Amino acid sequence: MSHAVIEVLDLALKLPETERELIVRQLVASLEHHDPGYDEAYEAEIARRLEDIRSGKVELIPWEVVRKELMGEEAPED
């Protein structure tokens, strides 16, 4: 590691966790390659899912039921 990397890392590790997380997110984002078709595909998927909800094709699960299942608790019966 270069002296500059060691110095930056040393300074970063002294920051509060929330600020370190911000730095990590920005560094990772700078490394990711953006696919130009991604935004369009994402928007189309969101639109499709919203339509499925609005049309009644899918049934939403209340957060309380999901939380209890995740926590290993018994979900309330309908």
* pLDDT tens for each residue of 36-50: 777 788 889 999 999
Yes or no: say if 12 and 20 are a contact pair by the CB < 8 Å rule.
Answer: yes
Tokens read off for 56 = 């009644």
50 and 62 together in one domain: yes
21 and 42 together in one domain: no
54 and 19 together in one domain: no
28 and 56 together in one domain: no
25 and 59 together in one domain: no
20 and 41 together in one domain: no
Q: pLDDT band for 76, please (50, 70, 90 cuts).
A: low
Q: What is the mean pLDDT of residues 65-75?
A: 87
Write the burial class of residue 47 (CB in 10 Å: 0-12 exposed, 13-18 middle, 19+ buried). exposed
| pTM for the structure as a whole | 0.43
50 and 65 together in one domain: yes
For 65, phi and psi rounded to 5 degrees?
-70, -45
56 and 73 together in one domain: yes
Report the pLDDT value the prediction gives residue 33, as an integer from 0 to 100.
Answer: 73
Residue 75 structural domain: 35-78
50 and 78 together in one domain: yes
Domain count, the chain: 2
Yes or no: say if 37 and 31 are a contact pair by the CB < 8 Å rule.
Answer: no
**Residue reference for tokens 């595909």:** 41
